[in-house]
Amino acid sequence: MDKLNIVGNGPLRGEISISGAKNAALPILAATLLCPEPFTVSNVPHLRDITTTLELLGRFGTRIELDENMTLVADSASLTTLQAPYELVRTMRASILVLGPLLTRFGEAEVSLPGGCAIGSRPVNLHIQGLKAMGAHIEIEDGYIKAHAKRLKGARFLFDVISVTGTENLMMAATLADGVTVLENAAREPEITDLARCLTAMGARIKGAGTDTITIEGVEKLHGGSHTITSDRIETGTFLVAAAATGGHIRLRRTEPSYLDAVIEKLRETGAIIHSEGDVIEIDMRGKRPKSVNVTTAPYPAFPTDMQAQFVALNAFAQGTATVKETIFENRFMHVQELQRMGADIELQGNTAIVRGVEVLHGAPVMATDLRASACLVIAGLAAQGETEIDRIYHLDRGYECIEEKLAQLGAKIRRLPAGTRPQKCTGAS
């Protein structure tokens, strides 16, 4: 397994471009299954989760052409199977996003139940309940969700918990249903709005995306077209925190500042000076040690759970004590133990981490446990004294495009050690 070697060497400086959003690209690629004509998607990020999704689409019989600029044309005119197998679904939970599109267009679908996850139990009961409300017959058999429906019917569905992929699955299913579907207490994430824009480009009729009530009027058929994926707000936020953590000064291009209001507000509280104009955000933290900030995760537009781990890293050597409360997932603090190995003073009390900032973190061998935990360890490694070696960075490759190249461009001392490379001697706690 590849590892990352990072030597903390001070402030990040310079300018990079932000990639297309992973969590927008995944539902949008699933949405191409709705379309009987070729559909073009641009600004697709080059990530492992995208490769997995393309492999899944390929299994169904979708023909995919991908150019060197990561613009792809997906042609799902005729499919050969409607089954999403366990071996792919277990590597990527977002595979559940094919359930709604396949069922609504072809009248049946079989998707393996995703199973356990490193950050929480993550059930898909709301996806299933919502499709049932639209008239689907669904059974769980041999570990598979087996769904049938002659044609889904428009329905009113209230999410009792806000679910991002749940909202996306039902929104896609509703595009070809008979009648009007109203999704209440829907997720409002920018990725939902981006998916709605993509579906509209296919001929879907959707109102209210970005609010908590989304209305979809089903149509008989969708058609080909094109869509450009929006920028990745979590990648943007991760680089902003990395700059704040290292006392850096960076500019991020091709991003969307308005997606990050809650994150930017918290970064300003740490002492960062942030300016945004058009699609550029600039952060300046030169000569400062960050001040601790309290954070509570909640659905958009509040502070995102996908930025929680990065703020734990920032607080770990900030001035003061902060509480970081996780309200979305029940087990999303796996990074805490690894940070403790680097000298962090963090106490876990249920869903809250009490982070007492220390003057310095020390490089150490650490292990990534999930995508955002990996980002947290990268930030800690950049800001620590000495050398950090992060194992299991395949998690990072799922969601950050060219992270070591981008960080190197900002002056970081970071390199990938391909599998088989002898472990480097690390300084600090071990």
- φ, ψ of residue 309 in degrees (nearest 5): -60, -40
Query: Which residue from 4, 6, 82, 94 is in contact with ligand EPU, where contact means CB under 6 A?
Result: 94
Residue 122 in the binding site for ligand EPU (CB under 6 A)? yes
For residue 379, which of 416, 339, 324 has the smallest C-alpha distance? 339
Residue 23 in the binding site for ligand EPU (CB under 6 A)? yes
Residue 399 in the binding site for ligand EPU (CB under 6 A)? yes
Q: How far apart are the first and last CA of the chain?
A: 20
Distance CA 424, CA 124 (A): 42
For residue 247, which of 6, 20, 46, 8 has the smallest C-alpha distance? 8
Instruction: Give the x-and-dash track for 295-324 against ligand EPU (CB under 6 A).
Output: ----------xx------------------
Instruction: Give the x-and-dash track for 177-216 against ligand EPU (CB under 6 A).
Output: ----------------------------------------
For residue 2, which of 400, 362, 389 has the smallest C-alpha distance? 389
- C-beta of residue 325 within 8 angstroms of C-beta of residue 283: no
Between 128 and 366, CB nearer to ligand EPU = 128
Hey, what are 279's tokens? Answer: 């699609």
Between 222 and 371, CB nearer to ligand EPU = 371
Distance CA 113, CA 402 (A): 31
Nearest distance from residue 242's CB to ligand EPU, in Å? 16
Nearest distance from residue 316's CB to ligand EPU, in Å? 20
Distance CA 247, CA 351 (A): 29
- C-beta of residue 117 within 8 angstroms of C-beta of residue 93: yes
Between 14 and 120, CB nearer to ligand EPU = 120
Nearest distance from residue 164's CB to ligand EPU, in Å? 4
Between 235 and 404, CB nearer to ligand EPU = 235
For residue 428, which of 361, 375, 380 has the smallest C-alpha distance? 361
Nearest distance from residue 113's CB to ligand EPU, in Å? 11
Nearest distance from residue 271's CB to ligand EPU, in Å? 27
Question: H-helix or E-strand containing 172?
Answer: helix 164-175
Q: Which residues are catalytic?
A: 117
Instruction: Give the x-and-dash track for 321-350 against ligand EPU (CB under 6 A).
Output: -------xx---------------------
Q: If binding means CB under 6 A, how many residues of this protein chain bind ligand EPU? A: 22
Burial class (CB in 10 A: 0-12, 13-18, 19+), 405: exposed
Residue 397 in the binding site for ligand EPU (CB under 6 A)? no
Residue 163 in the binding site for ligand EPU (CB under 6 A)? yes
Nearest distance from residue 232's CB to ligand EPU, in Å? 9
For residue 305, which of 117, 104, 101 has the smallest C-alpha distance? 117
Residue 123 in the binding site for ligand EPU (CB under 6 A)? yes
Residue 57 in the binding site for ligand EPU (CB under 6 A)? no
Distance CA 241, CA 247 (A): 10
Distance CA 293, CA 271 (A): 10
Between 192 and 410, CB nearer to ligand EPU = 192
For residue 155, which of 100, 117, 197 has the smallest C-alpha distance? 100
Query: Which residue from 4, 7, 26, 29 is in contact with ligand EPU, where contact means CB under 6 A?
Result: 26
Positions touching ligand EPU (CB under 6 A) are 23, 26, 94, 120, 122-127, 161, 163-166, 305-306, 328-329, 371-372, 399
